Amino acid sequence: MTNIQFFGAAGEVTGSCYLVSSGGMRFLVDCGMFQGGSDAAQKNLRALPFDVRDLDFVLLTHAHIDHSGLLPRLIMLGYKGPIYTTAATIDLLKVMLLDSAHIQEKEAEWQLRHRHRRNVSMRGVPQPLYTVTQAMTALKHLRPAEYGETFSPHPDAEVCFHDAGHILGSAIIEIKTGGQKIVFSGDLGQPGRPVMNDPTPISEADVLVVESTYGNRLHRSLEDTERELLAAFQRTLGERHGNIIIPAFAVGRTQELIYMLVALVRSGRLAPMRLYVDSPMANAATQITLHHESLLDAETQALIEWQRQNPHKLDVRFITDVQESMALNDIRQGAVIISASGMCEAGRIKYHLQNNLPRPECAVLITGFQAAGTLGRRLVDGARSVRIFGQQVVVRADVHTIGGLSAHADQSALLGWLRHFRRPPAHTRVVHGESLAAETFAAAIREQLGWKNVEVPAYREELLL
Protein backbone atom coordinates (compact mmCIF):
# COMPACT_ATOMS: atom_id res chain seq x y z
CA MET A 1 0.00 0.00 0.00
CA THR A 2 1.18 3.52 -0.86
CA ASN A 3 0.24 6.62 1.12
CA ILE A 4 0.84 10.31 0.36
CA GLN A 5 0.42 12.83 3.17
CA PHE A 6 0.32 16.57 2.51
CA PHE A 7 2.38 18.55 5.01
CA GLY A 8 2.35 21.90 3.19
CA ALA A 9 1.15 23.85 0.15
CA ALA A 10 -2.33 22.44 0.82
CA GLY A 11 -4.82 25.25 0.30
CA GLU A 12 -1.90 27.70 0.29
CA VAL A 13 1.13 28.43 -1.85
CA THR A 14 4.11 27.96 0.46
CA GLY A 15 5.54 25.13 2.56
CA SER A 16 5.60 22.39 -0.10
CA CYS A 17 6.23 19.05 1.62
CA TYR A 18 4.79 15.64 0.78
CA LEU A 19 5.50 12.42 2.70
CA VAL A 20 5.24 9.26 0.61
CA SER A 21 5.13 5.82 2.26
CA SER A 22 5.20 2.63 0.20
CA GLY A 23 5.71 -0.71 1.90
CA GLY A 24 8.57 -0.16 4.31
CA MET A 25 9.96 2.82 2.35
CA ARG A 26 9.35 6.48 3.31
CA PHE A 27 10.53 9.58 1.47
CA LEU A 28 9.80 13.29 1.09
CA VAL A 29 9.13 15.30 -2.02
CA ASP A 30 10.18 18.88 -1.20
CA CYS A 31 10.80 20.36 2.21
CA GLY A 32 9.73 23.98 1.91
CA MET A 33 9.42 26.90 4.26
CA PHE A 34 6.10 28.61 5.00
CA GLN A 35 6.21 32.29 4.01
CA GLY A 36 3.88 35.24 4.52
CA GLY A 37 1.35 35.86 7.26
CA SER A 38 1.78 36.39 10.97
CA ASP A 39 1.74 32.65 11.71
CA ALA A 40 4.49 31.62 9.25
CA ALA A 41 7.19 31.49 11.94
CA GLN A 42 5.10 29.21 14.16
CA LYS A 43 4.15 27.01 11.21
CA ASN A 44 7.84 26.56 10.38
CA LEU A 45 8.59 25.59 13.97
CA ARG A 46 5.75 23.02 13.92
CA ALA A 47 6.62 21.70 10.46
CA LEU A 48 7.91 18.16 9.85
CA PRO A 49 5.72 16.55 12.58
CA PHE A 50 6.98 13.04 11.94
CA ASP A 51 10.16 11.12 12.72
CA VAL A 52 12.55 12.33 10.02
CA ARG A 53 15.03 9.61 11.01
CA ASP A 54 12.72 7.06 9.35
CA LEU A 55 13.05 8.68 5.92
CA ASP A 56 15.02 6.79 3.27
CA PHE A 57 15.60 9.73 0.90
CA VAL A 58 14.35 13.17 -0.15
CA LEU A 59 13.50 14.42 -3.65
CA LEU A 60 13.60 18.16 -4.34
CA THR A 61 11.83 19.79 -7.29
CA HIS A 62 13.72 23.12 -7.26
CA ALA A 63 15.61 25.70 -5.22
CA HIS A 64 12.93 28.21 -4.25
CA ILE A 65 12.78 28.52 -0.47
CA ASP A 66 9.08 27.58 -0.28
CA HIS A 67 10.21 24.18 -1.60
CA SER A 68 13.69 23.82 -0.08
CA GLY A 69 13.88 26.17 2.90
CA LEU A 70 13.36 23.61 5.68
CA LEU A 71 16.07 21.20 4.50
CA PRO A 72 18.53 22.47 7.17
CA ARG A 73 15.84 21.96 9.81
CA LEU A 74 15.27 18.43 8.49
CA ILE A 75 18.95 17.71 9.06
CA MET A 76 18.84 19.41 12.46
CA LEU A 77 15.98 17.10 13.49
CA GLY A 78 18.04 14.01 12.67
CA TYR A 79 17.70 13.14 8.97
CA LYS A 80 20.94 11.60 7.70
CA GLY A 81 20.10 10.40 4.17
CA PRO A 82 20.56 11.75 0.63
CA ILE A 83 18.66 14.63 -0.99
CA TYR A 84 18.33 14.20 -4.76
CA THR A 85 17.90 17.17 -7.08
CA THR A 86 19.41 18.60 -10.29
CA ALA A 87 22.99 19.88 -10.46
CA ALA A 88 21.80 23.43 -11.18
CA THR A 89 19.53 23.32 -8.12
CA ILE A 90 22.47 22.19 -6.00
CA ASP A 91 24.50 25.18 -7.19
CA LEU A 92 21.62 27.54 -6.36
CA LEU A 93 21.06 26.01 -2.93
CA LYS A 94 24.69 26.70 -2.01
CA VAL A 95 23.67 30.37 -2.14
CA MET A 96 20.01 30.28 -1.15
CA LEU A 97 20.11 28.03 1.92
CA LEU A 98 23.04 29.92 3.41
CA ASP A 99 21.25 33.20 2.78
CA SER A 100 18.06 31.83 4.38
CA ALA A 101 20.03 30.68 7.42
CA HIS A 102 21.68 34.09 7.71
CA ILE A 103 18.22 35.69 7.72
CA GLN A 104 17.07 33.27 10.45
CA GLU A 105 20.07 34.16 12.62
CA LYS A 106 19.57 37.91 12.12
CA GLU A 107 15.87 37.60 12.95
CA ALA A 108 16.70 35.87 16.24
CA GLU A 109 19.23 38.61 17.05
CA TRP A 110 16.63 41.29 16.29
CA GLN A 111 14.08 39.63 18.58
CA LEU A 112 16.62 39.56 21.40
CA ARG A 113 17.51 43.25 20.95
CA HIS A 114 13.81 44.11 20.69
CA ARG A 115 13.15 42.45 24.06
CA HIS A 116 15.98 44.33 25.71
CA ARG A 117 14.86 47.68 24.27
CA ARG A 118 11.31 47.19 25.47
CA ASN A 119 12.40 45.53 28.70
CA VAL A 120 10.22 42.52 27.91
CA SER A 121 10.82 39.55 30.16
CA MET A 122 10.40 36.19 28.42
CA ARG A 123 11.76 32.74 29.03
CA GLY A 124 14.75 31.58 27.04
CA VAL A 125 16.84 33.18 24.32
CA PRO A 126 15.26 33.48 20.82
CA GLN A 127 16.66 30.74 18.61
CA PRO A 128 16.91 30.82 14.81
CA LEU A 129 14.89 28.27 12.86
CA TYR A 130 18.30 26.98 11.82
CA THR A 131 21.85 28.30 11.61
CA VAL A 132 24.36 28.85 8.81
CA THR A 133 26.34 25.88 10.14
CA GLN A 134 23.24 23.66 9.91
CA ALA A 135 22.57 24.89 6.37
CA MET A 136 26.14 24.02 5.39
CA THR A 137 25.61 20.53 6.81
CA ALA A 138 22.43 20.15 4.73
CA LEU A 139 24.39 20.96 1.56
CA LYS A 140 26.55 17.88 2.16
CA HIS A 141 23.48 15.67 1.71
CA LEU A 142 22.70 16.91 -1.83
CA ARG A 143 23.12 14.43 -4.70
CA PRO A 144 22.81 15.37 -8.41
CA ALA A 145 20.23 13.89 -10.78
CA GLU A 146 20.14 14.46 -14.55
CA TYR A 147 17.05 15.31 -16.58
CA GLY A 148 15.65 12.24 -18.32
CA GLU A 149 17.83 9.67 -16.55
CA THR A 150 16.12 7.08 -14.33
CA PHE A 151 17.79 6.12 -11.07
CA SER A 152 16.90 4.09 -7.98
CA PRO A 153 17.37 5.89 -4.65
CA HIS A 154 15.90 2.78 -3.00
CA PRO A 155 15.35 -0.81 -4.20
CA ASP A 156 11.59 -0.17 -4.21
CA ALA A 157 11.64 3.09 -6.20
CA GLU A 158 12.60 4.34 -9.66
CA VAL A 159 12.83 8.11 -10.12
CA CYS A 160 13.21 10.38 -13.14
CA PHE A 161 13.53 14.18 -13.21
CA HIS A 162 12.23 16.26 -16.16
CA ASP A 163 12.64 19.97 -16.97
CA ALA A 164 9.72 21.92 -15.45
CA GLY A 165 10.64 25.21 -17.21
CA HIS A 166 10.04 27.20 -14.01
CA ILE A 167 13.51 28.33 -12.90
CA LEU A 168 17.01 27.05 -13.54
CA GLY A 169 17.17 23.39 -12.55
CA SER A 170 13.46 23.05 -11.76
CA ALA A 171 12.02 19.59 -12.18
CA ILE A 172 8.91 17.52 -12.63
CA ILE A 173 9.48 14.27 -10.72
CA GLU A 174 8.23 10.83 -11.80
CA ILE A 175 8.35 8.04 -9.23
CA LYS A 176 7.53 4.38 -9.84
CA THR A 177 6.80 2.49 -6.64
CA GLY A 178 4.36 -0.17 -5.50
CA GLY A 179 3.35 -0.88 -9.09
CA GLN A 180 2.21 2.70 -9.65
CA LYS A 181 3.60 5.87 -11.23
CA ILE A 182 3.33 9.03 -9.12
CA VAL A 183 4.08 12.39 -10.76
CA PHE A 184 4.79 15.59 -8.86
CA SER A 185 4.63 18.58 -11.20
CA GLY A 186 6.67 20.84 -8.94
CA ASP A 187 6.21 24.40 -10.16
CA LEU A 188 5.56 24.54 -13.89
CA GLY A 189 6.78 27.38 -16.09
CA GLN A 190 4.73 29.35 -18.59
CA PRO A 191 5.45 28.06 -22.13
CA GLY A 192 6.70 30.49 -24.74
CA ARG A 193 8.44 32.72 -22.20
CA PRO A 194 12.07 33.83 -22.42
CA VAL A 195 15.03 32.21 -20.65
CA MET A 196 13.68 28.77 -19.67
CA ASN A 197 12.61 25.91 -21.92
CA ASP A 198 8.94 24.91 -21.95
CA PRO A 199 7.83 22.33 -19.35
CA THR A 200 8.40 18.72 -20.41
CA PRO A 201 5.14 16.97 -21.40
CA ILE A 202 4.21 13.93 -19.32
CA SER A 203 1.95 11.30 -20.89
CA GLU A 204 0.81 9.11 -18.02
CA ALA A 205 0.50 8.78 -14.26
CA ASP A 206 -1.57 6.82 -11.81
CA VAL A 207 -1.32 9.65 -9.29
CA LEU A 208 -0.68 13.31 -10.12
CA VAL A 209 0.14 16.09 -7.64
CA VAL A 210 -0.08 19.35 -9.61
CA GLU A 211 0.51 22.98 -8.69
CA SER A 212 -2.15 25.69 -9.05
CA THR A 213 -0.49 29.00 -8.16
CA TYR A 214 -2.32 30.75 -11.01
CA GLY A 215 -5.01 28.11 -11.42
CA ASN A 216 -7.80 30.71 -11.48
CA ARG A 217 -6.39 33.28 -13.88
CA LEU A 218 -4.62 33.96 -17.16
CA HIS A 219 -1.41 35.89 -17.64
CA ARG A 220 -1.08 38.83 -19.96
CA SER A 221 0.58 37.99 -23.25
CA LEU A 222 4.29 38.68 -23.57
CA GLU A 223 3.50 41.49 -26.02
CA ASP A 224 1.08 43.15 -23.59
CA THR A 225 3.61 42.71 -20.79
CA GLU A 226 6.31 44.43 -22.80
CA ARG A 227 3.94 47.30 -23.65
CA GLU A 228 3.06 47.74 -19.97
CA LEU A 229 6.71 47.66 -18.99
CA LEU A 230 7.58 50.24 -21.65
CA ALA A 231 4.74 52.53 -20.53
CA ALA A 232 5.92 52.40 -16.91
CA PHE A 233 9.49 53.21 -17.96
CA GLN A 234 8.38 56.11 -20.16
CA ARG A 235 6.07 57.57 -17.51
CA THR A 236 8.53 57.26 -14.64
CA LEU A 237 11.90 57.93 -16.27
CA GLY A 238 10.91 60.05 -19.27
CA GLU A 239 8.07 62.18 -17.89
CA ARG A 240 8.28 62.22 -14.11
CA HIS A 241 12.05 61.83 -13.75
CA GLY A 242 11.80 59.40 -10.85
CA ASN A 243 13.23 55.98 -10.01
CA ILE A 244 11.92 52.52 -10.85
CA ILE A 245 12.11 49.96 -8.06
CA ILE A 246 11.57 46.32 -9.01
CA PRO A 247 11.23 43.71 -6.25
CA ALA A 248 12.25 40.44 -7.85
CA PHE A 249 13.08 36.93 -6.81
CA ALA A 250 16.85 36.62 -6.91
CA VAL A 251 16.60 33.30 -8.73
CA GLY A 252 14.71 33.21 -12.00
CA ARG A 253 12.82 36.48 -12.04
CA THR A 254 15.89 38.75 -11.84
CA GLN A 255 17.57 36.95 -14.73
CA GLU A 256 14.36 37.04 -16.79
CA LEU A 257 14.03 40.79 -16.21
CA ILE A 258 17.62 41.44 -17.21
CA TYR A 259 17.20 39.50 -20.44
CA MET A 260 13.87 41.18 -21.21
CA LEU A 261 15.43 44.63 -20.75
CA VAL A 262 18.39 43.60 -22.90
CA ALA A 263 15.96 42.52 -25.64
CA LEU A 264 14.04 45.80 -25.46
CA VAL A 265 17.26 47.84 -25.62
CA ARG A 266 18.59 45.73 -28.50
CA SER A 267 15.37 46.33 -30.46
CA GLY A 268 15.53 50.08 -29.78
CA ARG A 269 12.25 50.15 -27.84
CA LEU A 270 14.14 51.19 -24.71
CA ALA A 271 17.00 53.69 -24.65
CA PRO A 272 20.39 52.53 -23.35
CA MET A 273 20.36 52.62 -19.56
CA ARG A 274 22.15 51.67 -16.39
CA LEU A 275 20.55 48.90 -14.37
CA TYR A 276 21.43 48.25 -10.74
CA VAL A 277 20.95 44.71 -9.44
CA ASP A 278 21.14 45.17 -5.68
CA SER A 279 21.20 41.64 -4.36
CA PRO A 280 24.26 39.53 -3.64
CA MET A 281 22.12 36.43 -4.13
CA ALA A 282 20.87 37.65 -7.52
CA ASN A 283 24.47 38.30 -8.54
CA ALA A 284 25.45 34.75 -7.54
CA ALA A 285 22.32 33.28 -9.19
CA THR A 286 23.09 35.12 -12.44
CA GLN A 287 26.62 33.70 -12.48
CA ILE A 288 25.21 30.22 -11.81
CA THR A 289 22.71 30.71 -14.65
CA LEU A 290 25.54 31.60 -17.04
CA HIS A 291 27.45 28.53 -15.84
CA HIS A 292 24.44 26.40 -16.86
CA GLU A 293 23.81 28.29 -20.10
CA SER A 294 23.03 25.04 -21.94
CA LEU A 295 19.79 24.74 -19.93
CA LEU A 296 18.47 28.05 -21.35
CA ASP A 297 16.41 28.39 -24.51
CA ALA A 298 18.13 29.25 -27.81
CA GLU A 299 16.77 32.81 -27.95
CA THR A 300 18.21 33.61 -24.52
CA GLN A 301 21.58 32.13 -25.40
CA ALA A 302 21.72 34.43 -28.45
CA LEU A 303 20.71 37.40 -26.29
CA ILE A 304 23.48 36.66 -23.80
CA GLU A 305 26.02 36.72 -26.62
CA TRP A 306 24.67 40.08 -27.89
CA GLN A 307 24.98 41.58 -24.40
CA ARG A 308 28.57 40.35 -24.15
CA GLN A 309 29.33 42.19 -27.39
CA ASN A 310 27.41 45.37 -26.38
CA PRO A 311 27.82 45.84 -22.62
CA HIS A 312 27.45 49.62 -22.90
CA LYS A 313 23.90 49.40 -24.26
CA LEU A 314 22.53 47.99 -21.01
CA ASP A 315 25.07 48.77 -18.31
CA VAL A 316 24.27 46.19 -15.63
CA ARG A 317 25.85 47.01 -12.27
CA PHE A 318 25.75 44.24 -9.68
CA ILE A 319 25.81 45.78 -6.20
CA THR A 320 27.30 43.60 -3.49
CA ASP A 321 28.82 46.02 -0.99
CA VAL A 322 26.45 47.42 1.69
CA GLN A 323 27.88 50.93 1.28
CA GLU A 324 27.22 50.82 -2.48
CA SER A 325 23.67 49.70 -1.76
CA MET A 326 23.13 52.59 0.65
CA ALA A 327 24.56 55.03 -1.92
CA LEU A 328 21.71 54.12 -4.30
CA ASN A 329 19.38 55.96 -1.93
CA ASP A 330 21.09 59.21 -2.95
CA ILE A 331 20.01 58.80 -6.58
CA ARG A 332 16.88 60.90 -6.99
CA GLN A 333 16.06 60.15 -10.62
CA GLY A 334 16.81 57.77 -13.45
CA ALA A 335 17.71 54.74 -11.33
CA VAL A 336 16.34 51.32 -12.26
CA ILE A 337 16.92 49.04 -9.27
CA ILE A 338 16.14 45.33 -9.16
CA SER A 339 16.39 44.00 -5.62
CA ALA A 340 15.32 41.04 -3.48
CA SER A 341 13.27 39.71 -1.89
CA GLY A 342 10.56 39.22 -4.49
CA MET A 343 7.69 39.49 -1.98
CA CYS A 344 9.32 42.47 -0.20
CA GLU A 345 9.56 40.54 3.07
CA ALA A 346 13.30 40.82 3.70
CA GLY A 347 16.55 42.07 2.25
CA ARG A 348 17.64 45.28 0.56
CA ILE A 349 14.37 45.87 -1.29
CA LYS A 350 12.79 47.12 1.93
CA TYR A 351 15.27 50.02 2.12
CA HIS A 352 14.58 51.01 -1.50
CA LEU A 353 10.83 50.87 -0.90
CA GLN A 354 11.19 52.93 2.27
CA ASN A 355 13.05 55.57 0.28
CA ASN A 356 10.94 55.64 -2.89
CA LEU A 357 7.35 54.72 -1.96
CA PRO A 358 6.60 58.22 -0.57
CA ARG A 359 7.71 59.86 -3.85
CA PRO A 360 4.91 60.28 -6.45
CA GLU A 361 7.41 60.56 -9.30
CA CYS A 362 8.67 57.01 -8.64
CA ALA A 363 7.23 53.62 -9.53
CA VAL A 364 7.31 50.12 -8.11
CA LEU A 365 6.97 47.25 -10.57
CA ILE A 366 5.61 44.05 -9.02
CA THR A 367 6.77 41.21 -11.23
CA GLY A 368 5.86 38.00 -9.41
CA PHE A 369 3.39 36.22 -7.19
CA GLN A 370 2.80 37.89 -3.82
CA ALA A 371 1.64 35.50 -1.11
CA ALA A 372 -1.11 36.53 1.29
CA GLY A 373 0.24 38.45 4.27
CA THR A 374 3.39 39.75 2.57
CA LEU A 375 4.38 43.40 2.12
CA GLY A 376 4.32 42.89 -1.63
CA ARG A 377 0.72 41.64 -1.45
CA ARG A 378 -0.32 44.72 0.54
CA LEU A 379 1.15 46.95 -2.18
CA VAL A 380 -0.63 44.98 -4.91
CA ASP A 381 -3.91 45.26 -2.97
CA GLY A 382 -3.59 49.07 -2.99
CA ALA A 383 -2.46 49.90 0.54
CA ARG A 384 -1.91 53.63 0.91
CA SER A 385 0.42 53.13 3.86
CA VAL A 386 2.65 50.20 4.81
CA ARG A 387 4.85 49.37 7.76
CA ILE A 388 8.58 48.99 7.03
CA PHE A 389 11.18 48.56 9.77
CA GLY A 390 8.57 49.45 12.37
CA GLN A 391 7.61 52.75 10.71
CA GLN A 392 4.58 53.73 8.67
CA VAL A 393 5.53 54.62 5.10
CA VAL A 394 2.98 56.41 2.92
CA VAL A 395 2.54 55.01 -0.60
CA ARG A 396 2.57 57.81 -3.20
CA ALA A 397 4.57 56.03 -5.91
CA ASP A 398 2.77 54.24 -8.73
CA VAL A 399 2.51 50.50 -8.17
CA HIS A 400 2.36 48.45 -11.39
CA THR A 401 1.61 44.73 -11.41
CA ILE A 402 3.39 43.23 -14.41
CA GLY A 403 1.57 39.90 -14.33
CA GLY A 404 2.83 38.47 -17.60
CA LEU A 405 6.30 37.88 -16.19
CA SER A 406 5.24 35.07 -13.91
CA ALA A 407 7.47 31.99 -13.84
CA HIS A 408 4.33 29.95 -13.09
CA ALA A 409 2.02 28.57 -15.73
CA ASP A 410 -1.43 30.18 -15.81
CA GLN A 411 -4.67 28.21 -15.94
CA SER A 412 -4.57 27.79 -19.72
CA ALA A 413 -0.95 26.60 -19.67
CA LEU A 414 -1.60 24.22 -16.77
CA LEU A 415 -4.55 22.69 -18.60
CA GLY A 416 -2.44 22.51 -21.76
CA TRP A 417 0.22 20.54 -19.89
CA LEU A 418 -2.43 18.18 -18.47
CA ARG A 419 -3.83 17.53 -21.95
CA HIS A 420 -0.64 15.60 -22.79
CA PHE A 421 -1.80 12.79 -20.48
CA ARG A 422 -3.13 9.94 -22.60
CA ARG A 423 -5.60 8.96 -19.88
CA PRO A 424 -6.71 10.67 -16.69
CA PRO A 425 -4.74 9.74 -13.56
CA ALA A 426 -6.72 7.67 -11.10
CA HIS A 427 -6.06 10.35 -8.48
CA THR A 428 -5.23 14.04 -9.02
CA ARG A 429 -4.44 16.32 -6.11
CA VAL A 430 -4.21 20.09 -6.65
CA VAL A 431 -1.67 21.83 -4.42
CA HIS A 432 0.50 24.98 -4.20
CA GLY A 433 -2.34 27.46 -4.62
CA GLU A 434 -4.39 29.65 -2.33
CA SER A 435 -7.77 28.05 -1.67
CA LEU A 436 -9.70 29.92 -4.38
CA ALA A 437 -7.05 29.28 -7.04
CA ALA A 438 -6.73 25.60 -6.15
CA GLU A 439 -10.48 24.95 -5.99
CA THR A 440 -11.09 26.84 -9.23
CA PHE A 441 -8.38 24.89 -11.02
CA ALA A 442 -9.64 21.56 -9.66
CA ALA A 443 -13.10 22.42 -11.00
CA ALA A 444 -11.59 23.38 -14.39
CA ILE A 445 -9.84 20.00 -14.62
CA ARG A 446 -13.07 18.17 -13.85
CA GLU A 447 -15.19 20.27 -16.23
CA GLN A 448 -12.83 20.90 -19.15
CA LEU A 449 -10.87 17.64 -19.17
CA GLY A 450 -13.55 15.35 -17.74
CA TRP A 451 -11.18 13.91 -15.13
CA LYS A 452 -12.58 12.23 -12.04
CA ASN A 453 -11.21 12.17 -8.50
CA VAL A 454 -9.65 15.64 -8.63
CA GLU A 455 -9.41 17.17 -5.16
CA VAL A 456 -7.66 19.88 -3.15
CA PRO A 457 -6.10 18.18 -0.11
CA ALA A 458 -6.20 19.68 3.36
CA TYR A 459 -3.13 20.06 5.53
CA ARG A 460 -2.03 16.62 6.82
CA GLU A 461 -4.67 14.86 4.72
CA GLU A 462 -3.67 11.39 3.51
CA LEU A 463 -4.21 9.82 0.12
CA LEU A 464 -4.28 6.02 0.38
CA LEU A 465 -3.56 4.16 -2.87
8-state DSSP, 67:
H
Q: Which domains does the chain have, with CATH numbers?
A: 2-217+407-464 (3.60.15.10), 222-405 (3.40.50.10890)
Q: Could you write out the DSSP letters of every residue in 247-287?
A: E--TTTHHHHHHHHHHHHHHTTSS--EEEEEE-HHHHHHHH
Angle of CA points 34, 426, 54, to nearest 5°: 45
Output the CA torsion sign for 82, 84, 86, 89: negative
Residue 442 CB-half CA count within 13 A:
23
**The sheet that has 180-184: what strands, in order across it?**
151-154, 157-163, 171-177, 180-184, 207-211, 427-431, 454-455
Residue 20, helix vs strand vs coil: strand
Q: Give me the tens of pLDDT residue by residue for the chain, a chain 465 residues long.
A: 899 999 999 999 999 999 999 989 999 999 999 997 789 999 999 999 999 999 999 999 999 999 999 999 999 999 999 999 999 999 999 999 998 998 899 888 877 776 666 655 556 667 899 999 999 999 999 999 999 999 999 999 999 999 999 999 999 999 999 999 999 999 999 998 888 999 999 999 999 999 999 999 999 888 899 999 999 999 999 999 999 999 998 888 899 999 999 999 999 999 999 999 999 889 999 999 999 999 999 999 999 999 999 999 999 999 989 999 999 999 999 999 999 888 898 889 999 999 999 999 999 999 888 888 889 999 999 999 999 999 999 999 999 998 778 889 999 999 999 999 999 999 999 999 999 999 999 999 999 999 999 999 999 999 999
Query: What are the two backbone dihedrals, phi and then psi, of residue 122, each rounded to the nearest 5 degrees?
Result: -140, 155
8-state DSSP, 147:
B
- CA gap 4, 204 in Å, rounded: 18
Q: What is the pTM of this model?
A: 0.88
- CA gap 193, 258 in Å, rounded: 14
